[in-house]
C-alpha cells in the first residue's frame, strides 16, 4: 500500500456520515484527488486547525482505499490559511471562484504541477495588495493556456489568416477571426486592441511580471466580459461563484 505525501489546496468538501468529511484537493504531485478524512467532525473530532476550509493550502499524507477511487487522508497539516483573503468579502468570493473554476475544468488524477503552482500563486496575489479582479484575470488567462484552451489572438482562429485589421472575437471559433471568416462562423463581437495586447502579454509573461502589468479601466472591463463569455462557453457549466461575484459588484 503506497503512502503518498504532497502539498494540496482544498477545492471543495462535503460531510460524510457523522464524523467524517470528503474533500477534493488539487495536489502538487497527483493532480485532483478525492479523499476521506475521518474523525474531523462531532464531539471528539481531531483538531485540524482550518486545514479543511476552502482554498486552504496543506501538506497531506494519503493512501489508497481498497476497491474505491477515494483515498484515505491520514494527515492534513495546514501550511497557509490565507487569513487576509477570508476577512475581505470580495477577495473571499474571488478565491472561491478560482477553486471552483479549477475543480470544474480538471479531471481527477491528472497531474499538473503548473496548475497547482498557478493556483497557489494566485491565492498569494489575492492575499497581497493587488486587486482581486487583476488576480482573477491573470489566473483565467494562464489557466486557459495550461489547459490548451487559449483564445487565438495572433491569427484568425478559422483560417490562420492575418487579423491585422483588428478582427472580431468569436466564441465558437475560439478567438479572433478575420474579416472574411467573421461572416461565416457565428456571432462575434469587436475587441479593443488594448484587450488583445493585454491577453497576449499576460499569456507570455511569467506570473510575477504579469501581476504588475497596468491596464486601462475600459480594457479591464472588456477583458472581464470576454473571458467570462469564453470560459462559460468552453467549460460549459455555469459556476455558482460567478453569479455571486456579479451580485457583490
Ligand atoms: Zn479567417
The top-scoring range by mean pLDDT among 35-39, 110-114, 229-233 is 110-114
Q: Domain of residue 12: give its range.
A: 1-81
Cβ pair 55, 79 in contact under 8 A? no
d(CA 20, CA 10): 15
The Cβ-side half-sphere exposure at 220, using a 13 Å CA radius, reads 11
What's the CATH code of the domain at 71? Answer: 2.40.50.140
Task: Look at the alpha carbons of 209, 211, 212, 216 in this order and tell me if their dihedral is positive or negative.
Answer: positive
* Residue 222 CA to its chain's centroid (Å): 20
Q: Residue 249 above 80 pLDDT? A: no
Q: How many domains does the chain have?
A: 2
Ligand 1 center to 5 CA (angstroms): 49
Ligand 1 center from residue 193 Cα (angstroms): 18
- Residue 246 has which C-alpha cell? 456579479
Question: Per-residue pLDDT tens for 152-199?
Answer: 999 999 999 998 877 899 999 999 999 888 877 778 889 999 999 999
Model confidence band, residue 1 (pLDDT cutoffs 50, 70, 90): low
Distance (angstroms) between ligand 1 centre and the Cα of 204 equals: 23
Instruction: Verify that 6 and 69 share a domain, yes or no.
Output: yes
d(CA 77, CA 210): 31
Please give the share of the chain, as a percent, with pLDDT higher than 70.
Answer: 99
Instruction: Tell which wins on pLDDT, 236 or 88.
Output: 88
**Residue partners of 136: CB distance under 8 A and separation at least 6:** 94, 97, 98, 122
Ligand 1 geometric centre to CA of 206 (Å): 30
Q: Cα(247)–Cα(136) distance, rounded to whole angstroms?
A: 16
pTM of the complete model: 0.93
How is residue 186 annotated by DSSP? Answer: S
Is 26 in the same domain as 102? no
Contact between residue 156 and residue 176 where contact means Cβ atoms under 8 Å apart? yes
Mean local confidence (pLDDT), 32-57? 87
* Residues 179, 65 share a domain: no
Same domain for 242 and 131: yes
> Of 29, 63, 81, which one is at a domain's C-terminal end?
81
pLDDT of residue 109: 92
Give the Å distance between the CA of 164 and the centre of ligand 1: 11
pLDDT tier at 30, thresholds 50, 70, 90: very high
Beta strand ranges found along the chain (DSSP E): 3-16, 20-27, 31-37, 57-64, 71-80, 168-170, 175-177, 188-190
3-class DSSP assignment, residue 198: helix
Q: Which of 50, 81, 112 lies at the terminal end of a domain, its last residue?
A: 81
Same domain, 207 and 142: yes
Query: Measured between alpha carbons, how far is 191 from 248 in angstroms, rounded to an integer?
Result: 26
Amino acid at each position: 500500500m503506497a503512502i503518498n505525501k504532497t502539498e494540496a489546496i482544498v477545492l471543495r468538501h462535503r460531510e460524510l456520515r457523522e464524523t467524517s468529511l470528503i474533500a477534493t484537493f488539487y495536489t502538487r504531485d497527483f493532480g485532483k484527488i478525492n479523499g476521506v478524512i475521518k474523525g474531523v467532525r462531532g464531539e471528539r473530532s481531531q483538531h485540524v486547525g482550518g486545514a479543511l476550509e476552502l482554498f486552504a493550502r496543506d501538506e497531506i499524507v494519503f493512501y489508497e482505499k481498497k476497491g474505491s477511487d477515494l483515498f484515505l487522508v491520514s494527515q492534513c497539516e495546514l501550511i497557509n490559511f490565507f487569513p487576509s483573503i477570508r476577512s475581505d468579502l470580495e477577495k473571499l468570493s474571488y478565491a472561491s471562484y478560482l477553486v471552483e473554476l479549477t475543480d470544474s475544468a480538471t479531471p481527477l488524477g491528472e497531474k499538473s504541477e503548473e496548475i497547482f503552482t498557478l493556483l497557489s500563486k494566485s491565492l498569494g496575489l489575492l492575499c497581497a495588495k493587488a486587486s482581486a479582479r487583476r488576480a482573477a484575470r491573470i489566473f483565467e488567462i494562464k489557466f486557459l493556456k495550461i489547459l490548451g484552451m487559449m483564445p487565438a489572438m495572433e491569427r484568425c482562429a478559422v483560417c490562420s489568416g492575418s487579423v491585422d485589421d483588428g478582427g472580431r472575437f468569436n466564441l465558437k471559433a475560439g478567438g479572433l477571426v478575420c474579416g472574411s471568416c467573421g461572416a461565416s462562423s457565428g456571432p462575434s463581437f469587436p475587441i479593443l486592441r488594448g484587450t488583445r495586447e493585454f491577453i497576449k502579454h499576460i499569456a507570455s509573461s511569467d506570473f510575477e511580471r504579469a501581476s504588475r502589468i497596468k491596464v486601462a479601466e475600459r480594457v479591464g472591463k472588456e477583458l472581464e466580459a470576454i473571458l467570462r463569455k469564453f470560459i462559460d462557453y468552453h467549460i460549459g457549466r455555469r459556476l455558482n461563484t460567478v453569479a455571486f461575484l456579479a451580485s457583490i459588484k
